[in-house]
C-alpha cells in the first residue's frame, strides 16, 4: 500500500503539516480528528447493530404492511 515510502517521506509530510497549521494549532487539530474518528466509529457500530437485530417470528413488526383497500362499488347516481 505504501509502495516504497520510507521514514524520510513521513518526516517531510510531518514538517509540511507543521508549517501549514503551525505548532500551536496541532493539538486542537489532533483532538478534532480524534473526536471525528470516534463519532464515525460509533455510527458504524450503530449501523451494524441495526442490521443484526433478529426478527422474532412471534413478535409483530413495528410497522405492519398496509392492507390493500377493499374494492367498494359506488352506488349508481340517482335523479
What is d(CA 13, CA 28) in angstroms, rounded to the nearest whole number?
A: 19
d(CA 58, CA 20): 60
Q: What would the 3-class secondary structure string for the chain be?
A: CCCCCCHHHHHHHHHHHHHHHCCCCHHHHHHHHHHHHHHHHHHHHHHHHHHCCCCCCCCCCCCCCCCCCCCCCCCCCCC
Domain spans in the chain, listed from the N-terminal domain onward: 24-52
CA atoms within 13 A on the CB side of 20: 7
User: Tens place of pLDDT for every residue, the chain, 79 residues?
Assistant: 567 878 889 899 989 988 888 888 888 888 999 999 999 999 999 888 877 666 566 665 566 566 666 666 666 777 6
Amino acid at each position: 500500500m505504501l509502495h516504497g515510502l520510507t521514514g524520510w517521506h513521513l518526516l517531510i509530510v510531518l514538517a509540511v503539516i507543521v508549517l501549514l497549521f503551525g505548532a500551536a494549532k496541532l493539538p486542537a487539530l489532533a483532538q478534532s480528528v480524534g473526536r471525528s474518528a470516534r463519532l464515525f466509529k460509533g455510527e458504524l457500530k450503530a449501523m451494524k447493530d441495526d442490521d443484526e437485530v433478529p426478527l422474532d417470528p412471534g413478535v409483530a413488526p413495528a410497522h405492519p404492511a398496509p392492507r390493500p383497500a377493499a374494492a367498494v362499488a359506488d352506488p349508481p347516481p340517482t335523479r
